[in-house]
A and B are shown apart, each in its own frame.
Chain A
């Protein structure tokens, strides 16, 4: 029985999918655990020091920062998404909650999102067709919420040739479709 029980990816497959369309490579990522960290009112300093001690980056507005183990990006005032390797942090809330104690509210986010990493040489041309983020002028480490074909997403610029998109898991297929069609339109 147990042999037949395997977690499916957001796209409903046994393994994450990759699409190569011309110069663009779209990789579904299934190996990242995600949690939101929201500072409780009046306890921002405690949250900042606890995060620093644990090596959890909690960057400023519209920023993404990667650390050796954890990465974090800003989503709202006093609120961040924290990434960690799925293999070691599958139950990320159980790991992160003791770090912050009662100073922050932690919510599991791993299974609410689909993550696509997009690699290519000229991603600005792709992004300008997808959403209103000015990718060409954004600095590396820019992170923002945006809308791609009516779907709310988070977009992170790592470099001019690498970005991450988090979209709602329930519309994972639609988001991938949007990325594929847009990439194909640029060929």
Chain B
């Protein structure tokens, strides 16, 4: 599988480490959000047969975090973004 890194171009997926669903980025504030919301974030995962947004870490490359949109049925990767850009687009400061 080849991941088309937004900065470095096509790279072998062996260079990357998979973390999981990209919703991991949206951790609720543990001090103010309710226990249910935190529980939902921590334990409940969708397991879609189809398009899935997930976090990959370029450990053997430039150490950037990527949000990869991958079809779990075909492994086709339709989109690769820097997680930093995704977070900024969601209004986060970093």
State A75–B7 Cα separation when bound (angstroms).
12
Shortest Cβ distance from A121 into chain B, in angstroms? 27
Cβ of B62 within 8 Å of any chain A Cβ, yes or no, is yes
Which range holds the interface residue count of chain B?
10 to 19
Is A76 a contact partner of B60 (Cβ separation < 8 A)? no
Secondary structure dominating the interface of A: strand
One digit per residue, 1 when the CB lies within 8 angstroms of any chain A CB and 0 when it does not, for chain B 58-82 equals: 0011111000000000000000001
Q: Which residues of B contact A74 (CB under 8 A)?
A: 62
In-complex Cβ contact of A75 among B12, B14, B62, B82 (8 A): B62
Q: Which residues of A contact B7 (CB under 8 A)?
A: 61-62, 77
Is B61 a contact partner of A145 (Cβ separation < 8 A)? yes
Interface residue ranges of B1-47 to A (CB < 8 Å): 7-8, 12, 14-15
Shortest Cβ distance from A142 into chain B, in angstroms? 11
Shortest Cβ distance from B12 into chain A, in angstroms? 6
Which range holds the interface residue count of chain A?
10 to 19
Cβ of B92 within 8 Å of any chain A Cβ, yes or no, is no
State A31–B82 Cα separation when bound (angstroms).
37
Secondary structure dominating the interface of B: loop
Is B60 a contact partner of A147 (Cβ separation < 8 A)? yes
Q: Which residues of B contact A61 (CB under 8 A)?
A: 7-8, 62
Cβ of A132 within 8 Å of any chain B Cβ, yes or no, is yes
State A62–B15 Cα separation when bound (angstroms).
15
Cβ of A107 within 8 Å of any chain B Cβ, yes or no, is no
Is A77 a contact partner of B12 (Cβ separation < 8 A)? no
Q: Which residues of B contact A144 (CB under 8 A)?
A: 8, 61
Q: Which residues of A contact B14 (CB under 8 A)?
A: 132
Q: Which residues of B contact A77 (CB under 8 A)?
A: 7, 62, 64, 82, 84
State A61–B64 Cα separation when bound (angstroms).
12
Cβ of A152 within 8 Å of any chain B Cβ, yes or no, is yes
Cβ of A146 within 8 Å of any chain B Cβ, yes or no, is yes
Shortest Cβ distance from A150 into chain B, in angstroms? 10
In-complex Cβ contact of A145 among B12, B62, B84, B94 (8 A): B62
State A145–B15 Cα separation when bound (angstroms).
10
Q: Which residues of A contact B8 (CB under 8 A)?
A: 61-62, 144
Q: Which residues of A contact B82 (CB under 8 A)?
A: 77
Closest B residue, CB atoms, query A131: B60
Q: Give 11 A-B contacts (CB < 8 Å), ordered by A residue.
A: A61-B8, A62-B8, A74-B62, A77-B84, A132-B14, A132-B15, A145-B61, A145-B62, A147-B15, A147-B60, A152-B60
Q: Which residue numbers of B lie inside 8 Å of A, CB to CB?
A: 7-8, 12, 14-15, 60-64, 82, 84, 94
